[in-house]
Amino acid sequence: MQQSYKNFEVILVDQNDDDRLVSLISKYQHEFRIIHIKSERGLSLARNIGLGVVSGDIISFPDDDCKYQPDTLEKVNEFFIKKADYQGLVIRAENSVKSGRVMHANDASQDLDLKNALYLVHSISLFLSKKLISDVGEFDINLGLGAKTIYQGQEDRDYPIRALKKGFKIYFDRDITVLHPWDDPNIDQEKNLIDRAFKGASAEMYLLNKHGYSNFYKMTRLIRKLLAIFYFAVIKMNLYKARASISGFNGLLRSFNVKL
């Protein structure tokens, strides 16, 4: 392992129907602690199961296709030591696809609030103290990939918003980074981006309704999606992305007033 900070454990909540991960676990289980748990499908469900067995003081939620820098965990640990009044940290997500969008290029390091949490937070960039998690509780199982609802996303933003409402301090640090692939044409096609755009946008509107964001703000999200349709269809001439943006617009409309 390339991490300069070695005092960590990996909790692997396995939702595969087979044992494809057993050999991989065997390869690394002597290098660091691995807890392997099988569960049924559902991203938020899996995270809740994982939270039930954590022993560390800081919890993160990496994807299988993200990549920490060699000093990421060391810098995160130093942050929580130096800024003891903060119970959460969001690091900057960078796009590993060179031809893809540039992520957070102009976003300065800052305290997280109810507005910037909607665009600064990604699950892979989120680090939370065990104290915060004990108070906030479980992830909303109505949100996230694999949920039994149409709202396939936004669980990663819902959680810190709930923490902020409880008075916890969370900081965005642009100088600590994690890599993740966005806008890879092959990956987008495999993931059926058009369907995911509809369900993800439905989840976004669910989130805005759940936390009482104004109708004005919700309308700005619709307008931005219309601009995205024009951008991809007319300027970039990328019909697949344009169709995905149309699907996202329909998802926002579908859930404009929905609140479970």
pLDDT digits (tens, 9 = 90+) for 24-34: 999 999 999 99
Please indicate, yes or no, if residue 154 is contained in any of the structural domains. Answer: yes
Please indicate, yes or no, if residue 6 is contained in any of the structural domains. Answer: no
- The pLDDT of residue 189: 62
User: Please, what is the average pLDDT of the chain?
Assistant: 94
Q: Going by C-beta distance under 8 Å and a sequence separation of 6 or more, which residues neighbour residue 79? A: 86, 89, 171, 173, 176
- The pLDDT of residue 193: 87
Are both 89 and 152 inside the same structural domain?
yes
Please indicate, yes or no, if residue 193 is contained in any of the structural domains. Answer: yes
- CATH number of the domain at 63, please: 3.90.550.10
Are both 166 and 236 inside the same structural domain?
no
> pLDDT tens digit string along 166-213?
999 999 999 999 999 988 776 666 568 899 999 999 999 999 999 999
**192: region left, alpha or beta (phi > 0 left; psi from -120 to 50 alpha):** left
- Taken as a whole, the chain contains a residue count of 260
**92: region left, alpha or beta (phi > 0 left; psi from -120 to 50 alpha):** beta
Q: How do strand 170-180 and strand 88-95 relate by DSSP bridges?
A: parallel
Please indicate, yes or no, if residue 29 is contained in any of the structural domains. Answer: no
Percent pLDDT > 90 in the chain is: 86
Are both 78 and 145 inside the same structural domain?
yes
- The pLDDT of residue 258: 86
Q: Which of 55-59, 81-85, 188-192 is predicted least confidently?
A: 188-192
One-letter identity of residue 123: S
Task: List the Cα angle 225/253/240 in 5-degree steps.
Answer: 45
Please indicate, yes or no, if residue 97 is contained in any of the structural domains. Answer: yes
Are both 63 and 175 inside the same structural domain?
yes
Of 149, 180, 211, which residue is a domain's last? 180
Are both 60 and 145 inside the same structural domain?
yes
* Helix locations, 29-138, DSSP H: 43-51, 72-82, 117-120, 130-136
pLDDT of 120 strictly over 90: yes
Q: How do strand 88-95 and strand 58-60 relate by DSSP bridges?
A: unpaired
Number of domains in the chain: 2
Torsion angles phi and psi, residue 211, rounded to 5: -105, 10
Q: Which domain holds residue 62?
A: 56-180
Give the tokens for residue 29: 């289980």
How far is it, in rounded angstroms, from Cα 73 to Cα 78?
9
Please indicate, yes or no, if residue 119 is contained in any of the structural domains. Answer: yes
> pLDDT tens digit string along 140-172?
999 999 999 999 999 999 999 999 999 999 999
- Whole-angstrom CA distances from 130 to 52, 119, 144, 226 are 11, 24, 21, 40
Q: What is the pTM of this model?
A: 0.93
Give the tokens for residue 136: 């906030």
Integer-rounded Cα Rg, in Å, for the chain is 19
Are both 198 and 106 inside the same structural domain?
no
Please indicate, yes or no, if residue 259 is contained in any of the structural domains. Answer: no
Percent pLDDT > 70 in the chain is: 97
Are both 91 and 159 inside the same structural domain?
yes
- The pLDDT of residue 100: 82
Are both 153 and 248 inside the same structural domain?
no
- The pLDDT of residue 192: 82
The H-or-E segment that residue 140 falls in is none
Are both 146 and 228 inside the same structural domain?
no
Q: Going by C-beta distance under 8 Å and a sequence separation of 6 or more, which residues neighbour residue 178? A: 62, 66, 67, 68, 69, 72, 91, 92, 93, 94, 124, 125
Give the tokens for residue 43: 């991203």
pLDDT of 224 strictly over 80: yes
Are both 176 and 106 inside the same structural domain?
yes
Torsion angles phi and psi, residue 152, rounded to 5: -95, 70
Please indicate, yes or no, if residue 28 is contained in any of the structural domains. Answer: no
Of 148, 180, 212, which residue is a domain's last? 180
Are both 152 and 211 inside the same structural domain?
no
Are both 195 and 162 inside the same structural domain?
no
Of 144, 159, 180, which residue is a domain's last? 180
Q: What is the dihedral of CA 161, 162, 165, 171, to 10 degrees?
A: -50
Listed residue (147, 136, 257, 159) closest to 208, CA to CA: 257
